[in-house]
Amino acid sequence: MLDLPELLDNVFQHLDHHDLTQCALVNKQWHALTTPHIWRDLTCVCSGDARGKAFSRIVLEDYLQENRFGEEPSQPSTLSKYGHLIRLLPDPEDLENDLQTQACTQQGDEPTTHDLLLHLFKRSSEAKVQSFRYQFKDLESDKMKAILEFTLPRLRSFYIEKYCLQDTQSSLFKLKTLLNQCSIQLESLEVKISVQHADEVVDMEDKATEDESICWTSLKDLTLRHTIDSWDAGSLWSWMWKRCGQVEILHVHSINKSTPSLVQAMLAYMHNLQQIVIGDCIVWDDQEGEVEDDAVTALLSGSRHGWKSVSVLATARFGQKTVDALALHYSTLEQLHVHGNSNLPSCDLVQVLRSCPHLHTLSYISMYNGRTVVDGMAFVDLDPDTGLPQAMAMRRISQGARSQDRRYPKTGFGKESCR
């Protein structure tokens, strides 16, 4: 058998978790080579299934072994042997759900879910965190502080949810502090808040907690949900925009009179914008209202180099003003998705197809009064002489030519000689 560990290691990098565990059973050599790959990514293991429960038992056993023995145990536990290999953890909330099952089965002074979670963090000190969903609760508790302290500097995807900040000044300061702790390797950020009485907020400057020279160099995806009337809330947003210089994809789910402020920030700081998604595909009960045609038009003007992908979803209007604004991006447009209650003439869609040299995807789903309003014949090229689709006209011409050829067989002397 050809013995090339480097080649095998390269192959194992492309296998999923199930295939890696099967390869680990082949022999001792393959087991040694696959073990780092099995432990590297735990996002598919801690998912509430049998694998998640098995991993939770491993964490519990390691915790009990470390805290019950006064001296070093004769045989190290699984987590103590392989925990340093972990490079990616799932959302701490998902971890807690799996670890809670093990904690609940214990009696007396056995570890709590939080104890097990912190123990896992200690064993996987080199790991990144795939995602974290934070709902602005228990910020002052020791439990949440410990989770944030470990998670934020290692985070890839951050989701912040708070429908309404009542104590505006202090809440915005806390939000700014949280964002300031995020790793510069943050790849995706989703903010879902609504600030009331933003005009009463004083400017927040805290030189001790911010560094203007630091930006999220890996942040490519930014989502703004229900952020109504909050763009002028102190210095929070202006501070945040300066860190978003690498953003390529912008999702705007709901917006109101603050559209000009956002567009100004897009033009001033987000020079790499290529894709924009306006609106939401689902109308929720708490939706603040749809994005009007004027707002969509303004948002389309926020790209310096032209949009490559534009999506206008169910809660946004795609009207004539939007069509006119889109014309400025025909030279760069590659994808266009319009899904919503838009009564757009089919001729406008035809114009988009004719004018976009790089367009490869056009998705238009529009319902008006319960029926689809796209006229399919508008996309068919008609023959100017017959008024039929060109393919049908060419077929008739071809049939006529074949009929004439049967009357005058090919003899090599032409039709005149046959006559």
- Considering the chain, what is the average pLDDT of its residues? 77
Q: What is the crossing angle of helices 50-68 and 113-123, to 10°?
A: 90
Q: How many separate domains does the chain show?
A: 3
pLDDT digits (tens, 9 = 90+) for 335-362: 999 887 666 777 788 888 889 999 999 8
pLDDT computed for residue 299 by the predictor: 93
Region at 4 (left for phi over 0; alpha for psi -120 to 50; beta for the rest): beta
In angstroms, the CA 3 to CA 37 distance is 19
- Cα R_g (the chain), whole angstroms: 30
Residues of the chain with pLDDT > 90: what percent? 23
Residue 146 sits in the same domain as residue 261: no
Residue 45 pLDDT: 78
The answer to whether residues 256 and 373 belong to one domain is yes
Q: Are residues 274 and 368 in the same domain?
A: yes
Distance of CA 41 to the CA centre of its chain: 19
**387-407 pLDDT, tens per residue?**
666 666 556 556 555 555 555
Q: With contact defined as beta carbons under 8 Å apart, do 132 and 157 qualify?
A: yes
Is the residue at 100 inside a domain?
no
In a domain, 343, yes or no: yes
In this predicted model, which residue has the larger pLDDT, 186 or 14? 186
Assess whether pLDDT exceeds 60 at residue 313.
yes
Whether residue 261 is found in the same domain as residue 189: no
- Domain containing residue 261: 248-379
Residue 415 domain-assigned (yes or no)? yes
pTM of the shown model: 0.78
Question: What string of DSSP letters covers 335-365?
Answer: EEEEEES----HHHHHHHHHH-TT--EEEEE
272/322 same-domain check: yes
Tokens of 201: 């907020």
Q: Is the dihedral of CA 209, 215, 217, 220 positive or negative?
A: positive
Q: Is residue 143 part of a domain?
A: yes
Same domain for 375 and 391 = no
In a domain, 2, yes or no: no
Q: Both 391 and 364 in a single domain? A: no
278 to 32, 38, 79, 295, 313: CA distances (angstroms): 49, 39, 45, 10, 6
Q: pLDDT tens-digit profile of 161-193?
A: 875 555 556 667 777 888 888 888 899 999 887
Is 407 inside any structural domain?
A: yes
**What CATH number did the domain enclosing 269 receive?**
3.80.10.10
**Residues 405 and 369 reside in one and the same domain:** no
Regarding whether 300 and 368 lie in a shared domain, the answer is yes
Supply the pLDDT for residue 316: 85
Looking at the fold, whether 290 and 369 belong to one and the same domain comes out as: yes
Q: Residue 330 falls within a domain, yes or no? A: yes
373 and 393 assigned to the same domain: no
Examine residue 362 and state whether it is found in any structural domain, yes or no: yes
Residues 184 and 294 in one domain: no
Q: Which pair of structure tokens corresponds to residue 234?
A: 């102190």
